[in-house]
Amino acid sequence: MEVILQSLALGLLQGGVYALVACGLTLIYGVMKVVNFAHAEFLTLGMYLAIAAWQLAGVSPYVSVVFIFALACALGAAAQALVIRPALKHPQINQMLITIGVSTMLIGAMQLAWGPNNRVLNLAWSGATFELGGVRLSYVRAIAFLAAVLIAAGFWLFLKHTRTGMAMRAASQNPVAARLMGVSVQRVNLITFGVGTGLAGLAGALIAPAFFVNPTFGTDYFILAAFVIVVLGTMGNFVGALLGGLIIGVAEGLGGLLLGPALRQMVSLALFVVVLLVLPRGLFRGKVT
């Protein structure tokens, strides 16, 4: 029983981070209908930048996270303006391969900068844990989870109540109508891509103290789970991505317990097949908001 609770809690914590990564991916898809295969690389980059800030300047990841978010936003926006926007009218397969090209470049650049081997951010209390209702949790993961949930919730409020947020939702529901209402779709695209990748970078900074990182970390551990989450939560649906993140996190936690750690990743992939069979249009049956 205790083991089950423990796996459940760990899965939930992981799920919060998944949710943060996936909501950026789903936003980008919702607004631009582009599947961003380079998304997880921004997470990896966030981790590396957090490590660099800590090792070079002694800045805690919980401080540098703000700058990392801003930098990832800027990088994402630049990528959107340079290579995604010109391809928006091209066939979808081209767009996907372009994001794969961006992903490859980023992996190569990170390997050039930090080498192919594992790196780690060792805070004094990286391994510290606390007990909550008979479950042992690490501070780092708990903070990452809380921050992820808070930021995602804050972002949801932003989408609901600000003009830019509403423009983003309008553009994802119907780009033509949004343009007719005076929304600059081009500007919304830029902001969405920037913020979406920014959230991935932010998630990376938050989890940096808890994982080893190497250039393909994001591709190896996050991108497929993020895909499953956005499909489960209906592609383009923000709340769906948040719910989906938590569900997949918990499912992986329990699946890992049941099947052993080697098959942990099989769980989300197997869920993908099941989701397609049972809920081919996701939890929200194709509705974006």
Binders of other proteins in range 208-267 (CB under 8 A)? 215, 219, 224, 227-228, 231, 235, 262-263, 265-266
Nearer to other proteins, 82 or 132 (CB): 82
Does residue 93 interact with other proteins by CB under 8 A?
yes
Q: At what angle do helices 2-32 and 163-173 cross, to 10 degrees?
A: 80
**H runs (alpha helix) in 80-124:** 92-114
Does residue 29 interact with other proteins by CB under 8 A?
yes
In contact, 76 and 212? CB cutoff 8 Å: no
Does residue 283 interact with other proteins by CB under 8 A?
no
Nearer to other proteins, 164 or 289 (CB): 289
How many Å is the Cα radius of gyration of the chain? 18
Report the nearest approach of other proteins to the CB of residue 132 (Å): 32
Euclidean distance between CA atoms 266 and 136, whole angstroms = 25
Q: What is the DSSP letter of 211?
A: S
In contact, 84 and 34? CB cutoff 8 Å: yes
Give the torsion sign (CA, 237, 66, 163, 146): positive
Nearer to other proteins, 124 or 277 (CB): 277
Report the nearest approach of other proteins to the CB of residue 274 (Å): 11
- Nearest to 45, CA basis, from 244, 222, 231, 235: 222
Helix (H, G, I), strand (E, B) or coil at 109: helix
Nearer to other proteins, 35 or 142 (CB): 35
Does residue 187 interact with other proteins by CB under 8 A?
no
Binders of other proteins in range 30-49 (CB under 8 A)? 33, 35
Q: List, in order, residues 6 or more apart from 48 with CB less than 8 Å away.
A: 110, 113, 114, 119, 204, 213
Does residue 278 interact with other proteins by CB under 8 A?
no
| Residue of 105, 135, 142, 185 that binds other proteins (CB under 8 A) | 105
Q: Contact residues for other proteins (CB under 8 A)?
A: 29, 33, 35, 83, 86-87, 90-94, 96-98, 100-109, 111-112, 116, 215, 219, 224, 227-228, 231, 235, 262-263, 265-266, 269-270, 272-273, 276-277, 280-281
